[in-house]
Chains A and B, each alone.
Chain A
Amino acid sequence: MADVKTETPTGAPPRRRGVEDPGFGPKRRLTSGGIVALVVKVVLLGIIDALAVFGLYVLIGKGDWVAAAVLLAVVALVNYIYLRPGILPGKYLTPGLFFLAIFQVFVIFYTGYISFTNYGDQHNSTKEDAVSQIIRTSQERVPDSPAYAVEIYRQADQYGMFVSEPGGDTAFGTNEQPLEEASGAPDGWERLNLNQILRFQDEVLALNVQVTDDVNDGTLRTQDGSTAFVFTSTLEYDEAADTFTDTESGVVYSDDGEGNFRAEDGTTLTPGWRVVIGWENYAYAFTNEQIRDPLIRVVIWTFAFAFFSTFLCFALGLFLAIVFNHPTLRGKKFYRILVILPYAFPVYLTGLVWAGMLNEEFGFINEVLFGGANIPWLSDPWLARLSVLVVNMWLGYAYMFLVCTGALQSLPDDVIEAAKMDGAGAWRIFRSIKLPLLFVAVAPLLIATFAFNFNNFPVIFMLTGGNPRFTDTTLPIGSTDIMITMVYKIAFGSGGGRDYGLASALSILIFIIVAIIAAISFRQTKSLEDLH
């Protein structure tokens, strides 16, 4: 359809002054613009294709065939859209849709997937990685093991160890490759001198070369880059049985199907690995007392915060809009500019500045306005909630003020005149005429503001950080946390470990709530009717 409307000029053929390439009809040209457009297009596509080739090379090298296929398909589609004449909407929408598809649509589904896994600090890799990690972290030096003289070699970012065994044999090995007999380091490897050993100390310390193919035989490690000792794990991994056995106590740890090696008494080895655990995160959120009760409080507060924030900002904004909306008020312009200044102040600073002003011991509010009182603005749960609301009102009323001022000024004069004629007083006119008309205009905005405040991360995070902490849970959440700050803290908080699975499950729960709000507001405002 688009082609008909936009590519072929209706009526006269395009043989007018100022047309480039008069000999070519638009259908046959590579681009509808001039030579500049063609060059830009070719260069941009060239960059994209070059990157894609590089990406394909890496992906195939890693054996990630699915990703490689997806990348190939996407790049082919992009080339098709831009090289073929026509498909005009595609040419304009593709760049935006590309980012939207990855960082908005794909990540929604990915969030859903993660919410069914145990992904987190304790389970952040594959089972293979977990096994080798467990072996490496449980290593101890073998008592009375002989000292091996070693030299450290390097190639690119790989490190290797050339070992002279006490018996006189020499061998070479790396982190990936167990010791193999060799008379010297392979070609291309460069020996580190003392300075370099000091400089790459971390890498040298992390060098961990298996003595034989079997990891249970132990590995060579060096502290100083010149002598190495054999280290073996106190835990022995049995590949056939898929179990770890503690060589000292004899305890057997086996795969519990939930991403851990677990002993019969319930103790687990760390780290575990990533597995799909089904509905467990959701079940945890709904049934575990540690989280269910705090979660309910957080949800209620999230709604209360969003509602009261929207209401307070709207009330103050509307009030000020009415106050300054007087035809002959002097200094009106001056008032209006100064009053919207909070809206221009960066949000993240607002929270931090107010946090300082509301500080219980040294803050401006207590020290100056309340004459040295010690009012716990941010450490008492209810006062903290009040503070959050007031600060958010400071931040948000200017927006409502602007919107209401505009809406008030565009109210039809004739209706108000008619009401005056009929003898209505100022209050009556406001309540029965102005306010309803105003609501029609700002109702969609109020819903949008509610939805915005529902996920208003910076105010909460910068002002209180969600504190004061709940005392009845080990999760790092508190009285002023709304759902989004809770998700952030569970996923990336410092205390209590990161739990991506649980955080994603909570994100999905917020999705559902937001979707319900959205559905209701759609029905209410019928904003879809505008889509013609």
Chain B
Amino acid sequence: MATGLADVTSKPEKPVGSHRRQPFGKWFVDKGWRHLVGVAAIVFALLPLAYILSASLNPAGTLTGSNQLFRAISFVNYENILTRDGGIYLTWYWNALVIAVVSSAATVLLCAMGAYAFSRMRFRGRRTGLLALLILQMFPQLLMIVAIFLTMIWITDVFPAIGLGTHAGLIMVYLGGALGVNTFLMYGFFNTIPTAIDEAAKIDGAGHARVFFTIMLPLVTPVLAVIGLLSFIGFIGEFAIASVLLTDPRDQTLAIGLFQLVSGFQSQNWGIFAAGAVLAAIPVMVLFLLLQRYIAGGLIAGSVK
């Protein structure tokens, strides 16, 4: 079933003898309407993106002033967001990046280790373990946010360095949800790698760590990339848990900072918010576009399994 996934966005099929002239009516029924739909879909998809880009470039900086798309071009909003409050925007940016990079890297590693164990080893409680993960992932951490908050208060008393208000604490909380959500996708992928490969390595004397790090991980790189990217996108935009655990403005992330920027004074701060939003969105979108082929593949592999 997963064979077609490379087609999703790449590899245009070779047109077979389609260059003969067709009457317009026939062409329209076959293909023309598809272009109309395509243009409409693109307008729907891109209008908000074009709007926010235009608003970020508009020196008026208010909500009303942002309605005429690309009327005036200036970078004053970008300057303002970057210098605001002693450059706090860059601090948020840095915090968000650090938290997301560390969390998603750790997520990938923990999930890969878990998937390796479930896929390659046979042990008591394996089935139960898989089932428990499947069930646990149905309960998002957001539901336990009160208990997480109170647990973190308690941890603060014992280990202040990883307690409330610290990035390390937030990352630990994120890792609590890491295993449940992604292990399955990886588990399915690990299962597609023939066991003959790692068994041959073992016969050659490689230890389990060597098999895992130098043989398995390179073979499953695509799924590692997908999970890494998806969890990176998830962590960089996570709002609720971060907003509860990080109280000092200097420790907060882009999501919280930008939310606070417009939640009270939407109209006045619109220009600088727009600039902040564009800067926040660009790296994620670039990364996404570069890796979208794998994402599509990963999603479909996960769905069709």
Contacts and interface: CB of A to CB of B under 8 A. Distances in A.
B177 to A, nearest CB: 6
A261 interface: no
Interface string B157-192: 111000000000000110111111001000000000
Contact of B8 (A323, A406, A503): A406
A406 B138 contact: no
B203 A9 contact: yes
B72 interface: no
Contacts of B270: 356
A207 to B, nearest CB: 23
Interface in B107-165: 110-111, 113-114, 116-117, 120-124, 126-127, 129-131, 134-136, 138-151, 157-159
A330 B39 CA distance: 13
A436 interface: no
A1 B126 CA distance: 11
A266 interface: no
Interface string B207-240: 1111010000000000000000000010011011
A168 interface: no
B258 to A, nearest CB: 7
A92 interface: yes
A442 B303 contact: yes
Interface string B243-276: 1100000000001001100110011001001000
A349 B178 contact: no
Interface string A92-122: 1101110110111111101100100001000
A491 interface: yes
A347 interface: yes
A425 to B, nearest CB: 13
Interface string A53-96: 01100110010000100000000000000000000110111011
Contacts of A111: 143-144, 146-147
Interface string A451-465: 100010110011001
B84 interface: no
A488 B281 CA distance: 26
B41 A320 contact: yes
A357 B63 CA distance: 8
Contact of A531 (B127, B273, B277): B127
Interface stretch (A12-20, A180-188, A294-302, A416-424): A12-20
Contacts of A465: 263
Nearest to A40: B209
B12 A348 contact: no
Contacts of A406: 2, 4-5, 7-8, 296-297, 299-300, 303-304
Interface in A327-370: 327-333, 335-350, 352-357, 359, 361-364, 367-368
B303 A491 contact: no
A323 B38 contact: yes
Interface of chain B: mostly helix, strand, loop or mixed? helix
A33 B210 contact: yes
A407 B304 contact: yes
A195 interface: no
Interface stretch (B42-50, B74-82, B86-94): B42-50
Nearest to A445: B303
Interface in A223-277: none
B280 interface: yes
Contacts of B297: 406
Given A110-B151, A507-B143, A348 B259 contact: yes
15 contacts: A1-B122, A7-B208, A16-B205, A32-B208, A33-B209, A37-B207, A54-B159, A58-B158, A96-B111, A99-B110, A327-B16, A337-B9, A344-B284, A410-B300, A484-B142
The 10 closest A-B pairs by CB, nearest first: A103-B176, A32-B207, A409-B4, A406-B300, A344-B288, A410-B4, A19-B205, A92-B117, A14-B205, A110-B147
Interface of B: 1-5, 7-10, 12-13, 15-16, 18, 30-31, 34-35, 37-38, 41-42, 44-46, 48-49, 51-52, 55, 62-64, 66-68, 110-111, 113-114, 116-117, 120-124, 126-127, 129-131, 134-136, 138-151, 157-159, 172-173, 175-180, 183, 202-205, 207-210, 212, 233, 236-237, 239-240, 243-244, 255, 258-259, 262-263, 266-267, 270, 273, 277, 280-281, 284-285, 288-289, 292, 295-297, 299-300, 303-305
